[in-house]
C-alpha cells in the first residue's frame, strides 16, 4: 500500500511540473487540430491513427531537444540559430527563415485560431463567428498585455485540462471499436486521397514555431540544468495528453460519422451533429472544447512569434518589452481584423497544417545542427541515440512532405 501511495505521489508530483510543455500542447491543440482530426476520422475511420502516434513521438523528441537547449544555454532557438553560423550569409538565411516562416506563419494561423474557436460559440449561440472572433481576440490581447508569464501559463494549463475532459470523455461515450483503434494506431496505412490529411495531422501536432516557443518558455521556469528532469516529465505528460486529445477527436468522428457514412465539413458540423447521437449536452460540450482550443492557440501563436522574432533579431525576450509586445500585437491584430471581415478559415486551416508539415523538416534539421554544438552544450549535447531518433523524424517528415508536393503537382 505504501509503495502504491509513493507511486501516486510521484506521479502527482510530476503532474505539478506541467507548465512550459503544456503551453506547447495548448498551442498545437487548436481549431486546426480539431478540424483536421474531425475530417480524418469522418473520412478515413481509424486508419490514420498511426499518424498521430508518430506525431506524438516526433513532438516529444524535438521538444525535449528544444527545452534542453533553452535550459542549458539560456538561449531560445532563434538566438541559437543566429549565433550558430559565423558565415554572414548563413546567419542572415537563418534569421530570414525564422522571421518569414515563424512570424508570418503565426499571423496566418491566428485568423484560423480565432475563427475556429468562434465556430464553437456560433454552434451554441447562433451568433456569427465574425462577431465572436474579435471578442476572442480581444480576450487574448488582454491576457498577453498583462505581461505575466505565470498567469498565461496557468490559464493555458487550465484550458488543456478542460479540453482533455471534453474530448476524451466524448470519445469514451461513443463506444468505439477498440480492436480497430489498436490496429489503426500501430499498422500504418495511407488510404487513397489521404496523403494531404496525413501531412495535416503531422503538421498540426509537430508545429515548428513550438520549438521556438518552448526553448524560451522553459527559461521562465527553470534556471539551470538541474531542471532537466522536471522538464522531461513536463514534456512526457503534456505531449502525451495532447496526443490523447487528438486521438479522441479522430475516434469520435470515426465511430459516429465514418461508420454511418455521414460526411462533415468542419469541427463546427461535428459539434452540431453529435447531438442526435449523444443527447442535448453533446453540442454544447464539444463546442466548448472547440472554443477552448481556439482561445489557447490564439494566445500561443502571437507569443511564439514574439519569442522567435525577438530571439532571431537579438531583442530582449521580455513580455513587458515594447519590441516584444509589438510583434505579438501585430500577429494578434491581423487575426482580429481578418476574423472581423469574415475570412473563411476551414480550407485555410487544413492547407496551413499541411504547409507546416513541409516546413517541419527544415526547422528540425536546424535544431539537430544546433544541438550537436559541443562548445555550447558541453555534456548536454545530443547523444547518438537522440540524433538517430531525430534523424528518423526528419526523414519521415521529408518523405511525407515530398509525397504531398508530388501529389499537388499531379505526379503521384
- Quick check: 56 pLDDT over 90? yes
Q: Which residue has the higher pLDDT, 243 or 202?
A: 243
For 206-234, what is the mean pLDDT?
91
Assigned domain for 270 exists: no
For 97-109, what is the mean pLDDT?
70
User: What span, in angstroms and rounded, lies between the C-alpha atoms of 218 and 108?
Assistant: 25
Domain that holds residue 212: 19-178+189-256+275-409
Residue 187 in 3-state DSSP? coil
Assigned domain for 261 exists: no
pLDDT tens digits, 130-182: 888 888 888 899 999 998 988 998 898 888 888 888 889 889 988 899 999 99
Assigned domain for 82 exists: yes
Query: In this predicted structure, what is the pLDDT of residue 6?
Result: 44
Query: In this predicted structure, what is the pLDDT of residue 2?
Result: 43
Assigned domain for 5 exists: no
pLDDT tens digits, 105-132: 677 678 778 877 887 778 777 888 888 8
The rounded mean pLDDT for the chain is: 83
- Quick check: 358 pLDDT over 90? no
For 243-248, what is the mean pLDDT?
95
Query: In this predicted structure, what is the pLDDT of residue 10?
Result: 60
Query: In this predicted structure, what is the pLDDT of residue 344?
Result: 59
Confidence of residue 362 (pLDDT cuts 50, 70, 90): confident
Q: Which residue has the higher pLDDT, 356 or 233?
A: 233
Confidence of residue 227 (pLDDT cuts 50, 70, 90): very high
Here the CATH number for the domain that contains residue 148 is: 1.20.1740.10
Residues with Cβ within 8 Å of 40's Cβ and at least 6 positions away in sequence, in order, are 48, 51, 194, 197, 200, 201, 250, 253
* Residue linked to cell 494549463: 157
Query: In this predicted structure, what is the pLDDT of residue 381?
Result: 96
- Quick check: 349 pLDDT over 60? no
Residues with Cβ within 8 Å of 185's Cβ and at least 6 positions away in sequence, in order, are 46, 49, 50, 52, 53, 247
Query: In this predicted structure, what is the pLDDT of residue 14?
Result: 61
Assigned domain for 358 exists: yes
Highest mean pLDDT among 149-153, 246-250, 286-290, 359-363: 246-250
Overall domain count for the chain: 1
For 380-402, what is the mean pLDDT?
88
Query: In this predicted structure, what is the pLDDT of residue 1?
Result: 43
Confidence of residue 289 (pLDDT cuts 50, 70, 90): confident
Assigned domain for 78 exists: yes
pLDDT tens digits, 266-280: 667 777 767 767 777
Query: In this predicted structure, what is the pLDDT of residue 144?
Result: 93
Asked if residue 150 lies in contact with residue 16, where contact means CB atoms within 8 angstroms, the answer is: no
User: What span, in angstroms and rounded, lies between the C-alpha atoms of 248 and 40?
Assistant: 12
User: What span, in angstroms and rounded, lies between the C-alpha atoms of 387 and 296?
Assistant: 32
- Quick check: 400 pLDDT over 90? no
Q: What share of the chain is helix, strand, coil (3-state, %, to 5)?
A: 80, 0, 20
Nearest Cα neighbor of 311 from 112, 17, 66 is: 66
Q: Which residue has the higher pLDDT, 287 or 183?
A: 183
Assigned domain for 184 exists: no
Query: In this predicted structure, what is the pLDDT of residue 339?
Result: 75
| 162: its cell numbers | 478542460
Assigned domain for 12 exists: no
Q: What percent of the chain has pLDDT over 70?
A: 86
Query: In this predicted structure, what is the pLDDT of residue 412?
Result: 58
- Quick check: 304 pLDDT over 90? no
How far is residue 187 CA from its own chain's centroid?
Answer: 24
Amino acid at each position: 500500500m505504501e509503495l502504491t501511495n509513493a507511486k501516486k505521489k510521484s506521479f502527482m508530483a510530476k503532474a505539478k511540473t506541467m507548465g512550459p510543455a503544456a503551453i506547447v500542447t495548448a498551442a498545437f491543440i487548436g481549431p486546426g487540430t480539431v478540424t483536421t482530426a474531425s475530417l480524418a476520422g469522418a473520412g478515413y475511420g481509424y486508419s490514420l491513427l498511426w499518424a498521430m502516434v508518430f506525431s506524438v513521438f516526433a513532438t516529444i523528441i524535438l521538444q525535449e531537444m528544444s527545452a534542453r537547449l533553452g535550459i542549458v544555454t539560456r538561449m531560445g532557438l532563434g538566438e541559437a540559430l543566429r549565433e550558430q553560423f559565423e558565415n554572414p550569409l548563413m546567419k542572415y538565411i537563418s534569421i530570414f527563415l525564422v522571421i518569414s516562416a515563424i512570424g508570418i506563419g503565426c499571423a496566418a494561423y491566428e485568423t484560423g485560431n480565432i475563427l475556429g474557436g468562434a465556430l464553437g460559440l456560433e454552434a451554441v449561440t447562433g451568433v456569427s463567428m465574425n462577431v465572436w472572433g474579435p471578442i476572442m481576440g480581444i480576450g487574448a490581447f488582454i491576457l498577453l498585455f498583462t505581461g505575466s508569464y505565470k498567469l498565461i501559463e496557468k490559464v493555458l494549463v487550465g484550458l488543456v485540462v478542460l479540453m482533455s475532459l471534453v474530448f476524451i470523455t466524448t470519445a469514451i461515450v461513443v463506444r468505439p471499436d477498440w480492436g480497430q483503434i489498436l490496429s489503426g494506431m500501430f499498422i500504418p496505412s495511407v488510404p487513397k486521397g489521404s496523403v494531404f490529411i496525413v501531412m495535416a495531422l503531422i503538421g498540426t501536432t509537430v508545429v515548428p514555431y513550438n520549438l521556438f516557443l518552448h526553448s524560451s518558455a522553459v527559461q521562465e521556469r527553470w534556471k539551470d540544468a538541474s531542471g532537466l528532469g522536471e522538464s522531461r516529465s513536463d514534456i512526457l505528460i503534456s505531449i502525451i495528453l495532447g496526443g490523447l486529445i487528438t486521438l479522441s477527436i479522430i475516434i469520435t468522428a470515426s465511430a459516429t460519422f465514418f461508420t454511418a457514412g455521414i460526411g462533415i465539413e468542419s469541427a463546427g458540423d461535428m459539434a452540431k451533429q453529435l447531438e442526435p447521437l449523444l443527447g442535448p449536452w453533446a453540442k454544447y460540450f464539444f463546442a466548448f472544447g472547440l472554443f477552448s482550443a481556439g482561445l489557447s492557440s490564439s494566445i500561443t501563436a502571437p507569443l511564439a512569434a514574439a519569442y522567435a522574432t525577438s530571439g532571431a533579431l537579438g531583442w530582449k525576450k521580455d513580455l513587458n518589452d515594447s519590441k516584444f509586445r509589438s510583434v505579438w500585437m501585430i500577429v494578434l491584430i491581423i487575426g482580429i481584423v481578418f476574423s472581423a471581415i469574415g475570412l473563411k478559415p476551414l480550407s485555410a486551416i487544413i492547407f496551413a497544417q499541411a504547409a507546416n508539415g513541409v516546413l517541419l523538416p527544415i526547422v528540425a534539421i536546424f535544431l539537430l545542427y544546433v544541438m550537436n554544438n559541443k562548445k555550447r552544450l558541453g555534456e548536454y549535447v545530443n547523444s547518438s541515440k537522440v540524433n538517430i531518433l531525430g534523424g528518423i523524424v526528419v526523414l519521415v517528415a521529408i518523405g511525407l512532405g515530398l509525397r504531398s508536393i508530388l501529389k499537388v503537382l499531379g505526379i503521384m
